[in-house]
Structure 1
Amino acid sequence: MFVSLLESEWYKLRRNNIYTLLIIGPLLTLFIGAMNPMMSEMEGFNPWYSLFLFMNLPYALLFLPLITGVLAGIICRYEHQAGGWKQLAALPVTRSQIYVAKFVLIAILVLVIQLMYGVVVYVAGMVNGFEEGFPFLVISKFIFGGWIATFPMIALQLWAAMHWRSFAVAFTLNVIFTLPGILAINSERFGPYYPWAQPFFMMYAEENMAGIFFVPISQVLLVTGGSFIVFLLLGLLSFKRKAI
């Protein structure tokens, strides 16, 4: 039944031009990486790491957090129209299964976006004529690290999208949390503890950095893991009490 729920959610998403949303972010960052005039001025540095910096700034700080809110809004749009929540509640499934199915599908789509972004980074490097070998391990770490860092965002945005009928309200909430991340990454005191800044930190790759996802494991567990559990439980409890 859970697989059927996922298929049902995917069917609803396909009707909303979801493919365009999945590729627009990676394609925009491809333009930034391939056409950035500053790349020619970064002599003396590994060009791949310079490319990561230029591409990850707009991608991890803006696009990745914002797309989670868009996907959450779209995946709940049908239920807010024509009594969709009542139709779901009539199925032989629990509200927890409905909530988890929506979360899992959004997480899968974000992973697809991350994988496409990894391909885009490689293409941008080829366009720039990099002779150094492609750092597969580094790419893998920041692709999956950035993906895990979106879990708290997905949980909160899904909660908001289920609670508010208006797509604009839920998306505005996402913007409100996303924009301070631009300031948070410059703060050694507050940045490591701000959930919306975690995708950037987990995708900030330098040659001399080691460890899991380029950040201390305590930061992954406390900030990303902790906020994810809190948002997920609050959203699940709110949905269970939602009047349908």
Structure 2
Amino acid sequence: MTGRALSSDWLKIRGKGIWFLVFLAPIGLTLMQALNFGLRLDYLKGVFGDDMWNGLLENVVVFVPLSLMLGATILSSMIANIEHEQGSWKQLLAMPIPRPAVYLAKFLLACVLLVISCLLLTAGIVILGLVFGFDAGEIPWGQAIKLGLLPLAGALPVLSIELWLTMIAKNQALPVTLGIVLAITGMFSLSLSPSFPLAWAQMAWNGPNPFMYAGMGLAAGILIMLLGMMHFSRKDVA
């Protein structure tokens, strides 16, 4: 059932600008670092020495949590708004597909699109490093792949909250505003506490035990998703 709903949602996102968003963040972050390293390459070589790949990753990851939270907010709104704008919720929910399957399909769609965006960022950063002449034999593939995926796991609670709110609210202003506030708060969350949930996306890369924070984000995100699913299953959606 979930597979059928996911296939349907995959077709619905065509021509909705969602793929543009998926490509926008990784391309934007890559171009930002292209400008940064292009203007300051000699200085950065003096700072990072023979560890230029790590220096590039460290410069990129500063912006990844904010980009993920903003991306999760906008992506959730765009996915939910397909049904809101067309007024097709009643028609969709009248089909022989359980409501939990409909909800789970939209959650999985958002996750898959964000994973694609993270992998595109990895590819962009590797290509950028090669363009600047970094040693191809020293590409840190493990760290490059973790660059987006671990912070994504840490940011999963924000995605779950945003999808929940955008699915049940026809007016997207409040969910989107909340998502922007959460993303901005997340930038300063480490000053509050590393255990603060909005800090998990940063700690999933910079923390002493990144996999622990990624796991905490993953667990909290799934829990919030299940709560949203139960609420959605019982609520009348116009």
Task: Using structure 2 for the length normalisation, give the TM-score.
Answer: 0.88
Structure 1 unaligned residues grouped into runs of 5+: none
Write the deviation string for residues 94-138 of structure 1: whole angstroms up to 9, x where unpaired. 111011000001100011001100001112212222136110121
Q: 3-state SS of the aligned residue for 1:81? A: helix
Match in the other structure for 2:73: 69
Question: Pick from 136, 143, 147: which aligns with 1:138?
Answer: 143
Amino acid at match of 2:128: A
Amino acid at match of 2:233: K
User: 2:17 matched to 1:17?
Assistant: yes
Q: What is the CA RMSD across the aligned residues, in angstroms? A: 2.1
Shift of the 144–82 alpha-carbon distance from structure 1 to 2, 3 Å rule, reads closer
Question: Pick from 141, 163, 169: which aligns with 1:164?
Answer: 169
Post-superposition shift, 1:237?
A: 2.1
Amino acid at match of 1:41: Y
Q: 3-state SS of the aligned residue for 2:170? A: coil
Structure 2 unaligned residues grouped into runs of 5+: none
The structure carrying a bigger helix percent of its residues is 2
Match in the other structure for 2:202: 200
Task: Using structure 1 for the length normalisation, give the TM-score.
Answer: 0.86
Say whether the 8 Å CA contact 2:150–2:211 is kept in structure 1.
Answer: no
Post-superposition shift, 1:146?
A: 2.5
Identity percentage over the alignment? Answer: 26
Say whether the 8 Å CA contact 1:52–1:204 is kept in structure 2.
Answer: no
Say whether the 8 Å CA contact 1:152–1:224 is kept in structure 2.
Answer: yes
Say whether the 8 Å CA contact 1:184–1:197 is kept in structure 2.
Answer: yes
Match in the other structure for 1:6: 6
Q: 3-state SS of the aligned residue for 1:79? A: helix
Say whether the 8 Å CA contact 1:66–1:174 is kept in structure 2.
Answer: yes
User: 2:116 matched to 1:112?
Assistant: yes
Q: 3-state SS of the aligned residue for 1:15? A: coil
Post-superposition shift, 1:177?
A: 0.7
Q: 3-state SS of the aligned residue for 1:49? A: helix
Give matches, 1:82-231, under 5 Å. Answer: 82-131=86-135, 133-185=138-190, 187=191, 190=193, 192-204=194-206, 215=210, 217=212, 219-221=213-215, 223-231=216-224
Question: Pick from 225, 231, 236: which aligns with 1:238?
Answer: 231
Distance 1:220 1:29 in 2: 22
